[in-house]
A and B are shown apart, each in its own frame.
Chain A
Amino acid sequence: MIRVVLPTHLRILARVESEVELAIDGPVTLGAALDALESHYPMLRGAVRDHGTLRRRPFVRFFACEQDVSHAPLETLLPDTVANGEEPLLIVGAIAGG
């Protein structure tokens, strides 16, 4: 199982109180994690990335083990500690405004 931490807006949308746990078959890539997230929580489709192009929404960021993987290709393997659930994948809404 991997752990994913969602920002407040997406927790409200997904109706979850805290981080979510997702089972992934096969390599734990960034794309596999997002696929699993959208499969378990279909109401998040379109909120993290575009429906058609699967491009990340501009004000959304992905952090893993203190690394910004927002710009990484979807086939990028997440760190082992994220893959085995020791550390979470963070989905972050960019800080903007005053």
Chain B
Amino acid sequence: MSGVRLLVGTRKGAFILTSDGKREQWKIDGPHFAGWEMYHLKGCPVAPNRLYASQSSGWFGQMIQRSDDGGQSWETVGNCFAYDGIPGTHQWYDGTQHPWEFKRVWHLEPSLTDPDTVYAGVEDAALFRSTDAGQTWTELSGLRDHETGPRWQPGAGGMCLHTILLDPSDPKRIFVAISAAGAFRTDDGGVTWKPINQGLRSEYIPDPKAEVGHCVHRLAMHPSRPNVLFMQKHWDVMRSNDAGESWHEVSGNLPSDFGFPIDVHAHEPETIYVVPIKSDAEHFPPEGKLRVYRSRTGGNEWEALTNGLPQSDCYVNVLRDAMAVDTLDSCGIYFGTTGGQVYASSDSGDSWNAIVRDLPAVLSVEVQTLP
């Protein structure tokens, strides 16, 4: 019988949650690497028992872990992330120029075809690739060397490259997003990059329609339609029908269009999910009600999903990498909160249950659908 495996990264370790295809009973395994910040864990699409994990500490730096048995055991692999050449400078919070400095890995994205190839999105913003299963890392420096690089600036959480989308129909096309520079695309395997931010409007920067400087929080894509992208921006939920060449707003009737994660239903490319957050100053749900919003029309028309979620006195946040969908029928939706809850829906969001309630603050949630 098929099953699912959730990979949950938290402020104080990693947890692996497993269930059969019914998704009613869960086994919780962890903490792995107790005490360490586990920013992100992700499995290889072509070798599901191979997992990569980003492990970080303000004291002891960045580690990368790899498992070849679905998380039962781990091997520490390469953690040397050296920028290519002499790093230049980017804009600092006060408008001065500041040297690029590696801080941590926010996101790991394994290749869709090769289990030994994996991409890492890092802070300060850059994209690295390993082709030897994480032992060594090479920067795809064409991104950081883009002529707009000196104008990129950190968001409140740092200048992080947090989203990596691999186009399943074109191995040379990759989308990334950086806070607070915006979205970028390569069509030549990472050699050259172009900003894809036309149509974004951000009132918090001097030129609201600038080529770069937008605080993109997350991108999402359905694998069957890689030219259609969805974006949760600092404010605004956006959509592109042309691989990022242009964007238009689809916030519609959301109670707030601020938020972090955005995801797409596994079997319905026009069904998308967001978690509205009150504002950039108040990182919690509007009215203290934790609501996932679902649009079945690719945006603009949204419905609140509340069944099983706390509808009073709830003041948690849901971070950008903390939502995932499985590919079972019906589609499972999962998200984790800064309050340590991991919620699951096995019916496309109609109803929710807390798998676990008291983990450390959840940084990331990924799900693997297992045969």
Residues of A bordering B, CB below 8 Å: 7-10, 12-13, 42-43, 45-48, 51-52, 57, 59-60, 93-94, 96
Contacts and interface: CB of A to CB of B under 8 A. Distances in A.
B80 A9 contact: no
Contacts of A51: 79-80, 82
B61 interface: yes
Interface of B: 33-36, 57-63, 76, 79-80, 82
Contact of B59 (A12, A45, A52, A59): A59
A46 B35 CA distance: 18
A38 to B, nearest CB: 12
A95 to B, nearest CB: 10
Contact of A9 (B60, B76, B82): B60
A8 B35 contact: yes
Sorted from nearest, which 6 A-B pairs have the closest CB atoms?
A43-B76, A47-B60, A59-B59, A93-B59, A46-B79, A51-B80
A28 B61 CA distance: 26
Contacts of B60: 9-10, 13, 47-48, 57, 59-60, 93
B35 A12 contact: yes
Contacts of B59: 7, 9, 57, 59-60, 93-94, 96
Given A9-B60, A51-B79, 14 more contacts: A9-B57, A10-B60, A13-B33, A43-B63, A45-B79, A46-B79, A47-B57, A47-B61, A52-B82, A57-B61, A59-B59, A60-B60, A94-B59, A96-B59
A9 B35 contact: yes
Q: Which of the listed residues B33, B36, B57 has the most CB atoms from chain A within 10 Å of its own CB? A: B57
Nearest to B75: A43
A13 B34 CA distance: 9
B61 to A, nearest CB: 6
A96 to B, nearest CB: 8
Nearest to A8: B35
A13 B61 contact: no
Nearest to B77: A43
A57 B102 CA distance: 13
Contact of B36 (A12, A48, A57, A94): A12
